[in-house]
Amino acid sequence: MRDVAIIGVGMTNCGELWEQSLRDLFVEAALGAIDDAGVDHIDSMYVGCMSSGLFVGQEHIGPLMADYLGMGPVPATRVESACASGSVALRTGMLEVASGANDIVLVGGVEKMTDVGGDEATYALATASDQEWEAFSGITFPGLYAMMAVAHMHKYGTTREQLAMVAVKNHDNGSKNARAQFPMKISVDMVLNSVAVADPLRILDCSPITDGAAALIICPADQAKKFGNKAPIKIIGSGHATDTIALHDRADMASLEAVAKSAAKAYEMAGKKPSDIDVCEVHDCFTIAEIIVSEALGFAEKGKGGAAIEAGETALGGRIPINTSGGLKSKGHPVGASGIAQVVEITEQLRGDSGDRQVKDPKVGMTQNMGGTGASSLVHIMEVM
């Protein structure tokens, strides 16, 4: 198997992008990645997308995007794993390059979520839960993550204020990100006094509905330095794991076993451990998610993720900066694109291109992206070549 490197990145702004269609968003990100890589062709492409059929009424988007990008007849495949769709697309493309089947592969993610109303968006997102048990009973993802928060608070003493601190940190980072959907700073009091969604979660604990796209160009690592004018970023670890979709079927609602297992696989492949990671993007769809994920990745002891955020360990300048982009919470969460957008952030951090939110001299970065309440999880580890 060949080593694989990222040689180009591209990304749209995140937000309510009324003037751009699903295909417009993907093409903007893809052209950005192609230009960044300096390649004149691609051999194949993968498109992560959760629910374009429900959001915009369009399926069969692999060939659609290849055509609109002007890259037909290259093979193009749509990949779906709920909010982890982008990361599964990356892993699939990475394995294609590693196998030797193709050399230059475009991996992207896209979602256009704001063309429908709130009820329709909620329905589309709920398809990532267990339809016969959870969705049938009327519970949505804020309710499911609220139950996870209550379980974590009861078991470990995590506080309502610690949840709010996740949102405050990520908005502070997002205020430095020109692509972010909500680039404004907030306070703990603002979070605590915002509209209740599902106790104990408030609206400022929740990631938004977002339009956006992101893309990467990957190739064999031994060819990477032939392209572009920026340092290639080698993918040194990749892990993928699953769990029950239904939250009630798990032994512990206060932990995320698929995250822990996908991380263990990635650490083993990379020959790294948690203390080797300099910067990380995690799936903070709700504030409690970042806390539990940080524990599953080994950045905090189980039950101590809230204390780590309170101590500033995950802030810029902290022991392990998490969600320097602003995370899903501030940057935005275009579900099919979020996993790729995380890799764009880590690539730019490792290149030293992150401006006011730049981590000092990072060498190794990580992304963690999951679907639903952690029924699927992917972890990727990258380093500067």
Q: Indicate which residue of 83, 206, 280, 285 is catalytic.
A: 83
DSSP-derived 3-state class of residue 384 = strand
The beta strands (E) that lie in 69-210 are given as 76-79, 105-112, 196-198, 201-202
CB count in 10 Å sphere of residue 268: 12
User: What does the alpha-carbon distance between residue 209 and residue 181 come to, in Å, rounded to a whole number?
Assistant: 10
CA-to-CA dists, residue 219 to 27, 91, 225, angstroms: 20, 13, 10
Q: Known catalytic residue: 152?
A: no
φ, ψ dihedrals at 113, nearest 5°:
-105, -15
DSSP-derived 3-state class of residue 183 = coil
DSSP-derived 3-state class of residue 196 = strand
Q: Known catalytic residue: 333?
A: yes
User: What does the alpha-carbon distance between residue 366 and residue 379 come to, in Å, rounded to a whole number?
Assistant: 7
Q: Indicate which residue of 152, 171, 283, 333 is catalytic.
A: 333
Helices 85-99 and 338-351: angle between axes, nearest 10 degrees: 60
Catalytic residues: 83, 333
